[in-house]
Amino acid sequence: MDPVLSIRDLSLDFETPPGPVHALRNVSLEVPRNHIVGIVGESGSGKSTVIAAAMRLLANNAVIRGGEVIFNGRDVLGMNQEELRALRGEEISMVFQDPMTSQIPVLTIGRQMTDIQYRRRNVSMAEKRNLAVEMMRRVGISDPEERLDQHPHQFSGGMRQRIAIAMALLMNPQLLIADEPTTALDVTMEAQIIHLLRELKESFEGSILFVSHNLGLIAELCDYVVVMYAGEVVEQGSVEDLFYRASHPYTQALLECDPARIEDATPALPTIPGDVPDLHIVPQGCVFAPRCPRAVARCREEPAQIATIGAGHRARCHLLGHE
């Protein structure tokens, strides 16, 4: 079956006063139907930019340099405003990072949830409200009838994220994009939201593209994982591939730094030395070479090519191609 979303060779710059930032370079990834795909990477790796590009919710200074974003066989990058509006909400929708600022503060949740259903022309207001009540119940809000008349500030962060998920799923989209949906929440809430997402994936029969920097969440929730570094996909594969057979030195380093995997008490947590490169000037060789413990001369001179490790498991590294 066709993937629901397929991004091929996407390159994107942000125009800034000192010059363009090459934020994405030849990014390719696929979201298969009825699966959960995770994108993992440090801050500034371009993971949020990829998903913003998938919905065309990019900042004004973003310039797409090449590639395509295919959703259900249609090119999202070629869509006009009208087509994009039809796509958003109805076919792809999104849950954002900060639940405290995701809803309009001056309108009731019920009003916002009926507004989202404006395309259901033959459905009465009472029926739209019932659908909203049902969706609120599905995401675990108790007393939804009464709570629909409340305003966003009357809900806690965890509940607001549940409501954001309810709003995103209201039109039964085929793809839900979740951009670090638990980063702003405490650990208990985080576990609940992850549980909810997994439950919803079963009941609403769609795919989820889940963005996080938390490897534990990715391992728990996702079927496939895409690892991004400095605007490139460095490794992708099934969750088993990534966690048991990590091939790219960056993925390996990330796993070593995950506090959840460190068993012995250490005076200092391990880190990857160095910083994410400044993407005004893209390095000539592999982007990770300056921080890579295994880099050889060739890594600094030539861009790394994608090497296939197994079925669906690929990594962008010089050391892998010739093994």
Position 54 contacts other proteins (CB under 8 A): no
Decide: helix, strand or coil at residue 279: coil
Nearer of residues 48 and 238 to other proteins, judged by Cβ: 48
- In angstroms, the Cα distances linking 36 to 178, 209, 225 are 10, 6, 9
Report if residue 151 touches other proteins, rule: CB under 8 A: yes
| 74 lines the binding site for other proteins (CB under 8 A) | no
Chain positions 170 to 209 lying near other proteins, rule: CB under 8 A, are 170-171
Q: How far is the CB of 84 from other proteins (least distance, A)?
A: 8
Q: Number of C-alpha atoms within 13 angstroms, CB side, residue 72?
A: 9
Interacting span for other proteins (CB under 8 A) from 111-119, 200-208, 245-253, 263-271: 111-119
Q: Which contiguous run of DSSP H or E holds residue 100? A: none
Please give, one letter per residue, the 3-state secondary structure of 222-248. CCEEEEEECCEEEEEEEHHHHHHCCCC
Q: What is the largest CA-CA distance in the chain?
A: 68
Minimum Å gap between C-beta 208 and other proteins is: 15
Asked if 106 is part of the footprint of other proteins (rule: CB under 8 A), the reply reads yes
DSSP letter, residue 107: S
Stretch that binds other proteins, among 91-99, 193-201, 257-265, 308-316 (CB under 8 A): 91-99
Query: Does the protein bind other proteins through residue 236 (CB under 8 A)?
Result: no
- x/- site string to other proteins, residues 243 to 282, per CB under 8 A? ----------------------------------------
Q: Which of 192, 253, 247 is nearest to 220 (CA)?
A: 192
Taking CB under 8 A as the criterion, the residue among 4, 135, 136, 168 binding other proteins is 168
Task: Judge whether 9 and 28 are in contact, CB under 8 Å.
Answer: yes
Should residue 156 be labelled a site residue for other proteins when binding is judged by CB under 8 A?
Answer: no
Q: Tell me how far apart the alpha carbons of residues 60 and 192 are, in angstroms, rounded to a whole number.
A: 35
By beta-carbon proximity to other proteins, the closer residue of 86 and 297 is 86
**Which residues does 187 contact at the CB level (< 8 Å), separation at least 6?**
none
CB of 170 to other proteins, least distance (A): 8
155 is an interface residue for other proteins by CB under 8 A: no
Stretch that binds other proteins, among 28-36, 37-45, 104-112, 131-139 (CB under 8 A): 104-112
Q: What is the DSSP string of 121-145?
A: TTS-HHHHHHHHHHHHHHTT-SSHH
Q: Which is nearer to other proteins, 93 or 251 (CB)?
A: 93
Q: Which C-beta is closer to other proteins: that of 171 or that of 191?
A: 171
Q: The tokens of 255 are what?
A: 């796993």
169 lies in the site for other proteins, by CB under 8 A: no
CA–CA dist 275, 294 (Å, integer): 17
CB nearer to other proteins: pick between 135 and 215: 135
Q: Which residues contact 88 (CB under 8 A, 6 or more apart)?
A: 55, 57
Q: Which residues contribute to the site for other proteins (CB under 8 A)?
A: 55, 57, 81, 84-90, 93-94, 96, 98, 101-107, 115-116, 118-119, 151, 153-154, 164, 167-168, 170-171
